[in-house]
């Protein structure tokens, strides 16, 4: 405690202390400020029973835990410093019983900060592929690399942030701005990862922005608090918890609680969120681990439902929990449940004898090379890179390229960075993937650790950044979601190889912002990027200097093709209508096979098949949900920053439709080199479907993912799609539903099919009870409502090809 704080601040400190006792925030002095979100206390942590196919793991876990002393149980609930491995975190072990501890390793796009691994396409790239099978196999191969390195837990995938804030720094780690899409792909990712390791789904919950997510002042030991995401019960169920529900149903072995507060109670001590929603309502069987240093209280965080503290714990060390069970401040069964959840997940998914053996403490010291790569992963890495490319403009047959005689290449994003050491620490431990691109908004480099820390922790909005990686092609985002590539196949490399085959003449200037253009060029390709990282939110949604480069090339070249590597949505209105700009690709964040994948698409070896997993606006102000960067000074908010999620579920396309804003490119949009027509819609409610409400809590049969009845299929929608164009291509048929009382259209199905020219395919979308229900706050239950549910099947949320109706009565 800083003694210099007087007056109001002193009152606030007392308030925080009082609230820390029960894990909830309830100081009466602040009642006015906290009336929106005052998190309900849910004191009893559900004890995991070993539901479903967890039974065996739980039987074994109970047996092992029953042999542990309370001190040993306590020991495995928090991170211990390791001198033998460089894991992101390691729990304590129980040497007496041969339990070796658990190694946690970043993150969701590949194993971070080590050598001999691959860099996979990022979450948002996978989201743009709209391909469940590919999401599954990407995760399966990635998970195998974690296991070969000795990691028990892969710290991914991400379903929160859910994409509420367009400039949010971590949106690229998730799958897009719709909960149905993101939940479906996250569930496949969990199934894929858990063939080999425990998945850790993050961040529970409401971690929608980086600014003030984890107050730097808090880190320094003062009492400023992290931002509070104040979310009402309906919105939390219908939007922010939706993806977590899908991953729990998929058997997720761990979940990470978030830095931010929810209704003023920290994510890692919020009993409503962990005890109530996750473990109670959703029937979660795994363990909850804190985000790194996200624990702010001791016994209260255990009683609120947190099971593991990382990377260490100043609260749970020295047998604190064991003592607490003896003196009555914590029930015995809670410590048993913590240990049992940890051990059960370990038995079920990741019983590895030698945790972290392939993750050296330092890559700069001599170490055994543990090659985690498998040549069999190559197809998956390439194909998931290919399918995340979204073609949004293609006029005058600009693409595919066909043996061009002369191509000119421009832009800093076509070549790799001069640095690829896999040694994360040489990049400040933070920016691998951004290739040392830490620049202030004024363009000056960020040179030292102090500046980097200031950058990460500043509350000054002008410190948001970087927005662009000038030092080389963007193949990964930054922060803990970064990944370390085996190589970087940059666009220039891949175009060189193709030029060799086609006898194309290639000219390039990848430095100038106002390059010369040889008028003989068949096409001018401009490579730009839009970077993003954990730790800060993006300074803009379109980097002005890159826009200038595009305009400069287009002014001289009538066939200008723009490729954007974008870790997050990027606006293009500065130039998109210029008729000289004939084609535009969002190339997202493709991982190490970037160039190869791009050539595959741009030369028509495969038709582009990605679709936007977010809405691209015409201007920044079209996104109504803004960052809460500025903490008004002279108010209590200075210490307790608040963010009221008053828009409810109306984010991204739901907000655009509600506010009648025409986007530049709508959610679900993307072109191919072929054409598809849609036929024969047939929608009906299953005659034997039970249309009753399903209670969430007591009374309902809870399986992993919540009430069992939520997963009944109650209706189906069928149609046929036909490839009417000239080439084989993939279509993503999208089903939107209008649920009475909700947004006019919500995504409730998608099917990606690759179809030969002229051929047709039958598509069936099955709708579960949850898909058609709303969350009824009064009844605390999901329920169907009597009425008409409009059905839309189309190529995007705005390009509807077939209309129908489901009648529920
Ligand atoms: C959030 O909502 C509460 C009421 O519930 C209100 O008092 C407060 O001013 C709101 N905060 C902001 C920043 O709008
Ligand atoms: C947050 O507060 C809102 C409004 O009172 C309430 O509906 C919701 O259930 C609360 N959520 C949590 C997690 O406390
Ligand atoms: C606790 O874990 C540490 C680190 O793995 C280990 O060295 C120590 O022996 C463990 N303590 C007990 C009581 O098992
Ligand atoms: C644990 O013991 C160490 C060494 O005595 C001490 O520095 C630390 O504060 C203790 N932690 C707790 C939670 O008691
Ligand atoms: C019980 O033990 C815990 C952990 O050491 C301690 O924080 C707490 O103050 C103790 N409570 C009582 C009533 O002794
Ligand atoms: C750029 O901004 C940073 C941070 O505000 C400042 O330290 C630096 O001096 C600025 N550089 C120039 C060239 O203005
Ligand atoms: C690092 O940056 C800080 C803030 O700009 C500056 O005060 C300090 O002198 C720099 N340190 C070194 C070693 O350059
Ligand atoms: C990155 O770019 C900046 C500014 O253009 C330059 O100063 C720096 O040396 C570059 N770093 C690397 C690793 O290329
Ligand atoms: C298009 O390119 C031509 C050069 O081929 C140039 O004269 C013209 O001004 C450009 N148009 C635009 C809108 O940039
Ligand atoms: C709280 O944060 C504000 C910035 O919002 C800062 O000016 C102030 O010094 C911080 N207070 C403490 C006690 O650290
Ligand atoms: C798709 O169909 C439209 C008209 O239906 C036609 O103008 C266009 O050329 C077709 N595109 C392709 C790639 O076949
Ligand atoms: C959809 O197609 C399936 C399989 O062909 C069929 O069993 C089902 O009855 C159809 N449902 C509707 C609503 O047409």
**pLDDT (0 to 100) of residue 699:** 66
How many helices and strands in the chain, by DSSP H and E? 20, 28
Residue 801 lies in a domain: yes
Q: Which of 417-431, 455-469, 716-730 has the lowest mean pLDDT?
A: 455-469
Question: What's the pLDDT band for 636 if we cut at 50, 70, 90?
Answer: low
**pLDDT (0 to 100) of residue 688:** 78
- Non-local (6+) Cβ contacts of 456 within 8 A are 216, 430, 535, 536
Cα–Cα distance for residue pair 636/628, rounded to 1 Å: 15
- 61 and 115 in a common domain: yes
Q: Is the pLDDT of residue 440 over 60?
A: no
Instruction: Compute, in angstroms, the gap from residue 106 CA to the centroid of ligand 5.
Output: 34
- 692 and 590 in a common domain: no
Cα–Cα distance for residue pair 787/324, rounded to 1 Å: 54
SS3 648: coil
**pLDDT (0 to 100) of residue 37:** 57
Q: Is the pLDDT of residue 439 over 60?
A: no
* Sheet-wide strand order for 198-204: 89-90, 103-105, 153-154, 198-204, 254-257, 287-290
- 292 and 164 in a common domain: yes
Q: Which of 5-9, 230-234, 722-726, 773-777 has the lowest mean pLDDT?
A: 5-9
Q: Which of 572, 606, 640 is the last residue of a domain?
A: 606
Residue 612 lies in a domain: no
- 394 and 344 in a common domain: no
Q: Is the pLDDT of residue 22 over 60?
A: no
Cα–Cα distance for residue pair 383/362, rounded to 1 Å: 33
Cβ(450) to ligand 6 under 6 A?
no
Q: Catalogue the E-assigned strands of 291-396.
A: 390-394
The structure's pTM equals 0.92
What is the average per-residue pLDDT within 39-60?
Answer: 95
Q: Is the pLDDT of residue 19 over 50?
A: no
State the ligand closest to the CA atom of 539: 6
What is the average per-residue pLDDT within 547-552?
Answer: 95
Q: Is the pLDDT of residue 539 over 70?
A: yes
Helix residue ranges, H only, 114-197:
123-129, 132-148, 179-193
State the ligand closest to the CA atom of 356: 3
Q: Give the residue, by CA position, lying nearest to ligand 10 atom 3.
A: 638
Q: Is the pLDDT of residue 770 over 60?
A: yes
Q: Is the pLDDT of residue 8 over 80?
A: no
User: Taking Cα atoms as reference points, which of 672, 711, 670 lies closest to residue 690?
Assistant: 711
State the ligand closest to the CA atom of 38: 2
Cβ(766) to ligand 7 under 6 A?
no
- 203 and 317 in a common domain: yes
State the ligand closest to the CA atom of 686: 12
Q: Give the residue, by CA position, lying nearest to ligand 1 atom 1.
A: 644
Cβ(438) to ligand 10 under 6 A?
no
Cα–Cα distance for residue pair 212/203, rounded to 1 Å: 15
Number of domains in the chain: 3
Query: What is the domain range of residue 567?
Result: 389-606
**598-619 per-position pLDDT tens digit:** 999 999 999 999 999 999 999 9
**219-253 per-position pLDDT tens digit:** 555 567 888 999 999 999 999 999 999 999 999 99
Q: Which of 567, 586, 606 is the last residue of a domain?
A: 606
- 279 and 141 in a common domain: yes
- 405 and 336 in a common domain: no
- 103 and 241 in a common domain: yes
**647-667 per-position pLDDT tens digit:** 999 999 999 999 999 999 999
- 569 and 420 in a common domain: yes
Cβ(633) to ligand 7 under 6 A?
no
Tokens representing residue 166 in the block? 């367009």
Cβ(13) to ligand 10 under 6 A?
no
Cβ(512) to ligand 4 under 6 A?
no
Cβ(445) to ligand 7 under 6 A?
no
Q: Give the residue, by CA position, lying nearest to ligand 1 atom 4.
A: 36
Q: Which of 213-217, 261-265, 513-517, 661-665 has the lowest mean pLDDT?
A: 213-217
Nearest ligand 3 atom to the CA of 90 is 5
Instruction: Please list every protein residue whose CB sits less than 6 Å from any atom of ligand 2.
Output: 37, 39-40, 231-233, 262-263, 272-273
Question: What's the pLDDT band for 10 if we cut at 50, 70, 90?
Answer: very low
Q: Which residue has the higher pLDDT, 32 or 243?
A: 243
What percentage of the chain exceeds 70 in pLDDT?
86
Q: Looking at residue 792, which CATH number applies to its domain?
A: 2.60.40.10
Tokens representing residue 650 in the block? 């109306």
Q: Which of 606, 634, 658 is the last residue of a domain?
A: 606
- 412 and 314 in a common domain: no
Round the average pLDDT of the chain to a whole number and report it. 89
**pLDDT (0 to 100) of residue 436:** 43
Q: Looking at residue 52, which CATH number applies to its domain?
A: 3.20.20.300
What is the average per-residue pLDDT within 256-275?
Answer: 96
Q: Which residue has the higher pLDDT, 144 or 27?
A: 144
Q: Which residue has the higher pLDDT, 210 or 606?
A: 606
Give the other-Cβ count within 10 Å of 73's Cβ: 25
Catalytic residue among 70, 115, 291, 547: 291
Q: Which residue has the higher pLDDT, 636 or 540?
A: 540
Q: Which of 119-123, 370-374, 521-525, 623-627 has the lowest mean pLDDT?
A: 623-627
Q: Give the residue, by CA position, lying nearest to ligand 7 atom 5.
A: 451
| Distance, first Cα to last Cα, the chain | 61
Residue 775 lies in a domain: yes
Mutate to test the pocket of ligand 10, among 639, 640, 642 (most ligand atoms within 8 A of CB): 639
Helix residue ranges, H only, 250-329:
271, 299-303, 320-327
Residue 633 lies in a domain: no
- 134 and 29 in a common domain: yes
Cβ(94) to ligand 3 under 6 A?
yes
- 42 and 90 in a common domain: yes
Instruction: Compute, in angstroms, the gap from residue 57 CA to the centroid of ligand 1.
Output: 46
Residue 721 lies in a domain: yes
Cβ(674) to ligand 11 under 6 A?
yes
Instruction: Compute, in angstroms, the gap from residue 523 CA to the centroid of ligand 3.
Output: 63
Nearest ligand 8 atom to the CA of 471 is 1
Residue 163 lies in a domain: yes
Nearest ligand 8 atom to the CA of 472 is 14
Residue 776 lies in a domain: yes
Nearest ligand 1 atom to the CA of 230 is 1
Residue 718 lies in a domain: yes
Q: Are 565 and 597 in contact (CB under 8 A)?
A: no
Q: Put residue 145 in one of left, alpha, beta given phi > 0 → left and psi -120 to 50 → alpha.
A: alpha
Cα–Cα distance for residue pair 760/755, rounded to 1 Å: 7
Q: Which residue has the higher pLDDT, 483 or 667?
A: 667
Question: What's the pLDDT band for 544 if we cut at 50, 70, 90?
Answer: confident
DSSP result, 67-93: TS-HHHHHHTTBB---SS---SEEB--
Q: Give the residue, by CA position, lying nearest to ligand 5 atom 1.
A: 324
Active site residue 291: yes
């Amino acid at each position: 405690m800083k003694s210099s704080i007087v007056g109001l601040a002193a009152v606030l400190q007392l308030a925080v202390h009082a609230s820390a006792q029960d894990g909830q925030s309830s100081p009466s002095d602040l009642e006015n400020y906290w009336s929106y979100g005052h998190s309900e206390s849910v004191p009893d942590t559900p004890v995991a029973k070993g539901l479903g196919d967890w039974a065996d793991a739980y039987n074994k876990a109970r047996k092992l835990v029953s042999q542990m002393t309370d001190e040993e149980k306590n020991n495995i609930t928090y991170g211990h410093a390791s001198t033998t491995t460089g894991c992101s975190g390691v729990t304590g072990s129980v040497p007496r019983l041969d339990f070796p501890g658990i190694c946690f390793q970043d993150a969701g796009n590949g194993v971070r900060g080590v050598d001999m691994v691959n860099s996979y396409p990022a979450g948002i790239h996978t989201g743009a592929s709209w391909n469940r099978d590919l999401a599954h196999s990407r995760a399966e191969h990635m998970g195998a690399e974690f296991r070969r390195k000795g990691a028990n837990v892969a710290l991914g995938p991400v379903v929160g942030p859910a994409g509420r804030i367009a400039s949010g720094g971590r949106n690229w780690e998730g799958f897009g701005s719709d909960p149905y899409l993101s939940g479906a792909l996250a569930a496949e990712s969990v199934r894929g990862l858990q063939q080999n390791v425990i998945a850790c789904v993050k961040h529970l919950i409401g971690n929608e922005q980086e600014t003030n997510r984890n107050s730097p002042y808090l880190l320094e030991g003062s009492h400023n608090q992290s931002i509070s995401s104040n979310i009402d019960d309906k919105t939390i169920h219908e939007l922010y918890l939706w993806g977590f529900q899908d991953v729990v149903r998929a058997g997720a072995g761990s979940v990470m609680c978030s830095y931010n507060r929810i209704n003023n109670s920290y994510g890692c001590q919020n009993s409503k969120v962990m005890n109530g929603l996750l473990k109670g309502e959703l029937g979660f069987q795994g363990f909850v681990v804190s985000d790194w240093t996200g624990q702010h209280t001791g016994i209260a965080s255990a009683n609120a439902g947190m099971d593991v503290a990382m990377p260490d714990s100043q609260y749970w060390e020295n047998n604190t929990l064991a003592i607490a069970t003896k003196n009555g401040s914590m029930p015995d069964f809670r410590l048993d449940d913590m240990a049992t959840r940890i051990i059960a997940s370990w038995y079920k998914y990741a019983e590895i004898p030698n945790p972290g053996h392939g993750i050296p403490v330092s890559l700069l010291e001599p170490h055994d090379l543990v090659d985690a790569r498998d040549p069999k992963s190559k197809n998956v890495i390439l194909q998931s890179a290919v399918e995340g490319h979204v073609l949004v403009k293609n006029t005058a047959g600009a693409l595919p390229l066909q043996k061009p005689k002369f191509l000119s290449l421009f832009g800093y994003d076509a070549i790799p960075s001069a640095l690829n050491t896999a040694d994360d620490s040489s990049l400040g431990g933070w920016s691998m993937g951004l290739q040392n691109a830490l620049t202030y908004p004024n363009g000056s480099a960020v040179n030292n650790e102090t500046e980097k820390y200031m950058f990460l922790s500043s509350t000054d909005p002008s410190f948001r950044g970087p927005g662009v990686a000038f030092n080389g092609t963007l193949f990964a985002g930054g922060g803990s979601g970064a990944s370390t590539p085996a190589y970087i196949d940059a666009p220039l490399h891949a175009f060189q190889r193709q030029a060799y085959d086609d006898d194309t003449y290639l000219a390039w200037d990848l430095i100038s912002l106002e390059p010369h253009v040889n008028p003989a060029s068949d096409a001018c390709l401009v490579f730009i990027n839009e970077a993003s990282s954990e730790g800060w939110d993006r300074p803009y949604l379109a980097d002005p200097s890159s826009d200038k480069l595009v305009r400069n090339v287009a002014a001289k070249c009538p066939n200008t093709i723009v490729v954007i590597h974008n870790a997050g949505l990027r606006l293009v209105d500065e130039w998109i209508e210029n008729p000289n700009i004939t084609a535009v690709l969002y190339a997202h964040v493709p991982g190490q096979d970037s160039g190869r994948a791009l050539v595959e698409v741009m030369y028509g070896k495969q038709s582009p098949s990605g679709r936007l997993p977010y809405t691209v606006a015409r201007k920044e102000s079209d996104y109504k949900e803004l960052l809460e960067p500025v903490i008004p000074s002279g108010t209590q908010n200075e210490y307790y920053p608040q963010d009221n999620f008053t828009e409810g579920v109306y984010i991204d396309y739901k907000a655009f439709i509600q506010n009648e804003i025409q986007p530049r490119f709508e959610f679900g949009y993307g072109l191919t080199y072929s054409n598809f027509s849609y036929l024969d819609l047939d929608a009906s409610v299953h005659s034997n479907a039970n249309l009753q409400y399903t209670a969430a809590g007591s009374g309902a049969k809870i399986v992993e993912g919540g009430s069992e009845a939520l997963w009944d299929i109650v209706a189906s929608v069928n149609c046929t799609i036909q490839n009417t164009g000239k080439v084989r291509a993939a279509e993503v048929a999208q089903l939107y539903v209008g649920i009475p009382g909700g947004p006019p259209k919500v995504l409730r199905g998608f099917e990606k099919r690759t179809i030969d020219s002229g051929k047709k395919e039958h598509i069936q979308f099955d709708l579960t009870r949850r898909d058609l229900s709303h969350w009824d706050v009064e009844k605390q239950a999901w329920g169907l409502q009597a009425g008409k549910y409009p059905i839309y099947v189309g190529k995007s949320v705005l390009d509807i090809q077939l209309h129908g109706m489901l009648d529920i009565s």
